[in-house]
Amino acid sequence: MKARAIFLDRDGVINVNRPDHVKSWDEFVFLPYALTALRKLAARDFRVIVTTNQAAIARGLVAEETVRAIHAQMIAQVEHAGGRIDAVYFCPHHPDDKCGCRKPQPGLFAQAARDFKIDLARSFVVGDAFSDVAAALAIGAQPILVMTGRGREQHAEMIANNHTGHPIADDLLGAVEWILREENRD
């Protein structure tokens, strides 16, 4: 049987979404309850995968090696707190590049599905933007919008454009608790 995954956006879901981008580990700040949420997932039967757009690389604001180092430190801190992140996939391209990996495009998810033999239709995507919801719908996964990061602003825009009916959580912990409740129903 193929694995299930919980795909997490990074900025605004796991850490504070900075308008000037996270350019060093010193600028990376975990959101409240993010580590608790990741700890709750550690022993569960899900792959925990971060999928994140990192256009700051293409804009020349941060080197790709620095982003990789930030992700390594993030994973180490999550593990130190008793949580788990199985992998991080990121798009380094500029939004105008029209690549296949920048969310809402499915490239990051498709690569993770190949690497980890994931059943996307039995998976979840947690994000703070419509691009995360759109990516989830494109791959057949269940989207969950969180109200951290850009979530409140994006939710209002989604309502204005009649994109409703998707689960909404206050934060990553609320999203994880929703997922676990749904799992207990099965």
Domain ranges of the chain: 6-142
**pLDDT surpassing 90 at residue 173:** yes
Q: How distant is the alpha carbon of residue 59 from its chain centre? A: 21
Mean pLDDT estimate for the chain: 96
Q: Which residue out of 9, 128, 132, 171 is catalytically annotated?
A: 9
The tokens describing 137, both together, are 């719908």
| pLDDT at 88 > cutoff 90 | yes
Q: What is the average per-residue pLDDT within 10-31?
A: 98
The proportion of the chain whose per-residue pLDDT surpasses 90, expressed as a percent, equals 91
pLDDT tens by residue, 48-57: 999 999 999 9
The predicted model scores a pTM of 0.96
The CATH fold assigned to 6-142 is: Rossmann fold (3.40.50)
3-state secondary structure labels for all residues of 28-54: CCECCCHHHHHHHHHCCCCEEEEEEEC
pLDDT at 10 over 90: yes
Helices (H), 9-142: 34-42, 64-80, 107-116, 130-139
Q: Give residue-wise pLDDT tens across range 104-135.
A: 999 999 999 999 999 999 999 999 999 999 99
Residue 115 annotated among the catalytic residues of the structure: no
132 is annotated as an active-site residue: no
What pLDDT, on the 0 to 100 scale, is given for residue 157? 83
